[in-house]
Structure 1
Amino acid sequence: MIDLPNRDKRKEFTRALLKSIAQATPISAVAAEFFGYLSPSDLENEILRWQEDITSKVNSHDELLTIHDSILNPPPIELIGVAKDLAIYFTQNSKKGMFNIYGYSDITKELPAIEKQALDEALHELEQLGLINISQSLNGISHISSTINLHISVDPPVLGNNPIEDAKTISSLMLNNEELSSIVKLEKHLGWDLRRLNPAIWYLKDVVLPENKHSKTLHPDYPTTSFIIGSGERLILKQFLNG
């Protein structure tokens, strides 16, 4: 909230009166101007504070918009070498397109041609890019978990599915038919397999909609079983579609 500057009319009148009297002599006039330079009126101070407040609020708002835009429209990620191979491996082995955990020992068995040092460096590269999370033990990396960013970045070139575009399709359907906020009904309506459906649901749940606007019921096949779509959520979905 930006507060408007306060006006004290009595102080302004007194100040104006003193300044007008001072105009009678050149020296007094100069002194008055000097006084005004060193001692700005309360209103001027209020206006200055107000302008600074506006600037701060606008800059903060622009920053938030930029951050939000970068979340909803992430820049493309370029991967090469072992990091690319691992990203493809994680994507292809995500059977349901949900949160997955991969044991480090299982990865080394599945990809024996990759040396340990190259493997570890590539895993850390993927973590820095936000595609996976690494869990450590006393002996080093113990397991890896996938993030929604893995599917956003790697699903399109590897599987031909685009979770963000699919999330927009789902958003449009939910806006036109609130019954489709039930994921079971949505799945039947769309006819998509879980591998395509779930990354879009995951994206809507964790990125687009507020945290408390989905069912917390755990389900083996879906990231959530339903969304709560009120007037505020409808506005968010419309903004997402128009973004």
Structure 2
Amino acid sequence: MRFRNLEKYQTGETGSTLQLSIPLPQTPDGRVYRYSPNEDAHPRHFVLGQRVGGFPLPETMTPRMSHQPGIPETVCPYSGIVAENDEFSHADDRAAALKLVEHAFHADAAAQFHDMFADLGREFSGSKFIKVETGPRPVAKPVPRFVRSDLLRELVCDECGRDYGVFAISLFCPDCGAPNIHLHFAREVALVRDQVKLADSLGEDQSELAYRLLGNAHEDVLTAFEATLKTVYHHRVATCPKSSPEVKPVGNAFQNIERGRKRFAEFAFDPYGALSPDQLAVLTLNIQKRHVIGHNLGVADAAFAEHAADARLGETVPLVGDDILQFAEIAQMVVNGIDGWLANGAQPPVENVTSKPVVAPAARELAPLKIGELSPLAIRIGLWASKESTHGYSNFVPEDELIGAFPDATIDELGFAVAELARDDFVKTTSYIGPRLPRITTTPNLYFTFDPHAVQTDPAVDAAALVDLVKDKKDFIGAAALHEESGWPLRRFNPAFAYMLTQIDDRRVSKTNVSDYPAYGFVMMDSDRVDLHRFASRMRG
């Protein structure tokens, strides 16, 4: 029996078994569906085309490649795992192949039955008793057609020239494995540039629409930027050893530079490390501006007005197309650096450029700091003593260093300011014969009050964090062990520890054998545990 339709797909034969090869259905642009075998590589689906014409494929792997291009294996663009091409078969294509085989078999079977009865008709053609008549051969049904669509983000790898398309954000080229997030973000920047161009083309009578277009373009930059950082972070977490501590939910951590930095610090990497101070300042301001545009209808609130010198509380934040493009270009620099990090330091083949010089936004002049009834000089001395402290507890302040730090003040003025600080328990002073100024030693209260302004840490907030570390402990709490558990520098730990000690009965605080800490430790009773719990709740509002 001949299977003329099935034989069109035949690639071999074993005994009576045909070996078939069904061509994959293609998208309008000639790509085929692929599906990652990694169940965690959402959304798994992508399309794979050919290498673009004229692209010179390197003879050996480049430093950015992780996989030899052109061999019968595929790299999952979402997770980076490598497997045989057949393991990336899409379920829709398997179903399509079965339908093609089914169609060919039915056509062959119908033809065989027709021919069998036609042969019988010829065999009994001279018989007076049996007559077999057959009609024309049945017309075969049309071969099934399968619609395949190209995906949203179409890319061409700039390392191996392979054409492909993905959903959402992918990380790697499916042919050579080179990181490609810089290509993703470059496409976002191109779209933002088109939005800005469209907004700039509108006349004065469409100014509201132009502002809306610019606002959308600005928000699109940060949305794509945040999604890129989040995707890369999740990938690194997924590829970390399973012994790593459980990772806290990301939430909106990447809408804030410092919080995002802390996340990537888990992998000893600073995504913003290559930016200049001016570039970082522009990026920071634009991230803050996005909140105003996206959540406050473009009206400057107090938080934004504090950081932007030209912003006025309650007025609409101005949007300039060139500023949005610069925001996108600086974000591209960060993404390029992350892309290079994924490639073990091999940077993508692009230049970090901006369309105009980057100048940090002018900072709003801060109002003079007011602390109680202290004079401006006393406040300056308090801030200086806080910044200069090496361990954040009971620092001796040398007279010559104090005089050298404030050359614009007379000895009498310094003496008066020190007396102010002593009167309010920020320092302790001891007068002795000789020098004009007394011997000065800082107190914990100085750090409680001045640290938030001088070193940007708040001992009260930190003390609440220390309470979390000791709330389930019993009996004696040692300062050294608690310091190690906190992971903080000594300068940050001591003010917080001293603040927490204010909630413990002094009779249960041991101050013997102390060199680096406000106390050696303390004994905690159930009543202390209650007090500390309530204290932490108050500190957190």
Same fold, TM exceeding 0.5? Answer: yes
1:228 aligns with 2:523: yes
Contact kept? 1:134, 1:141, Cα under 8 Å: no
User: What is the aligned counterpart of 1:195 among 486, 491, 497?
Assistant: 491
Which residue matches 1:49? Answer: none
Cα drift, residue 81 of structure 1: 2.6
Letter in 2 for 1:87: G
1: CA distance, partners of 2:371 / 2:417 = 18
- In the alignment, the residues of structure 2 paired with residue 134 and residue 235 of structure 1 have an alpha-carbon distance, to the nearest angstrom, of 36
Give the Cα–Cα distance (whole angstroms) in 2 for the partners of residues 111 and 176 of structure 1.
Answer: 47
Q: How do 1:131-146 residues align onto structure 2 when only pairs under 5 Å count?
A: 131-139=426-434, 140-146=436-442
State the 1:225 CA deviation: 2.5
The one-letter code sitting in structure 1 at the alignment partner of 2:487 is G
Residues 76, 228 of structure 1: alpha-carbon distance in 2 compared, 3 angstrom cutoff: farther
Write the distance in 2 (CA, Å) between the matches of 1:203 and 1:93. 20
* Range that drifts further, 122-131 or 193-202: 122-131
**Contact 1:168/1:241, CA 8 A, preserved across alignment:** yes
| Unaligned stretches of 5+ residues in structure 2 | 1-369
SS of structure 1 residue aligned to 2:521: coil
Is 1:100 aligned to residue 395 of structure 2?
yes
CA contact (8 A) 1:102 1:143 kept: yes
Q: What is the aligned-residue identity percentage? A: 24
Q: Check if 1:148 corresponds to 2:450.
A: no
- Which residue does 2:455 correspond to in 1? 159
> Which residue of structure 2 lines up, in the alignment, with residue 91 of structure 1?
386
Coordinate RMSD, CA, aligned: 2.3
> 1:193 Cα deviation (Å)?
0.3
* Counterpart selection for 2:410 from 93, 100, 115: 115
What secondary structure does 1:227 align onto?
strand
Q: Which whole-Å deviations, capped at 9, do the CAs of 1:70-93 have from their partners, x for residues lacking one? A: xxxxx9647553112211111112
In the TM superposition, what whole-angstrom CA distance separates every residue of 1:44-95 from its partner, at most 9, and x where no partner exists?
xxxxxxxxxxxxxxxxxxxxxxxxxxxxxxx964755311221111111210
The answer to whether the 8 Å contact 2:374/2:420 transfers is no
How far, CA to CA, are the matches of 1:126 and 1:194 in structure 2?
A: 24
Deviant stretches of 4+, over 4 Å: none
Cα shift at 1:196: 0.5
TM-score (structure 2 length as normaliser):
0.29
SS of corresponding position for 1:176: coil
Q: Distance in 2 between matches of 1:191 and 1:179?
A: 22
* 5+ residue gaps, structure 1: 1-74
Q: Any conservation in 2 of the 1:91–1:151 contact (CA below 8 Å)? A: yes
Distance in 2, Cα, partners of 1:132 & 1:106: 16
Higher helix share: 1
Other-structure match for 2:533: 238
Larger Rg: 2
Aligned residues between the structures: 168
Task: Kindly state the Cα deviation for residue 138 of structure 1 after the two structures are TM-superposed.
Answer: 3.2
Opposite residue 469 of structure 2, the aligned amino acid is: L
Deviation at 1:180, TM superposition (A): 8.7
Q: Using the alignment, how far apart are the partners of 2:371 and 2:401 within structure 1?
A: 29
Distance 2:453 2:403 in 1: 24
Aligned residue for 1:82, secondary structure, equals helix
Q: Check if 1:128 corresponds to 2:423.
A: yes
Report matched runs for 1:29-48 at 5 Å.
Answer: none
AA aligned to 2:430 is S
The answer to whether 1:218 aligns with 2:513 is: yes
Contact map agreement 1:101 1:144 (CA 8 A) in 2: yes
Cα pair distance change 1:153/1:178, threshold 3 Å: same
Taking the aligned partners of 1:180 and 1:191, their CA distance within structure 2 comes to 20
1:234, distance to aligned residue in structure 2 (A) = 1.2
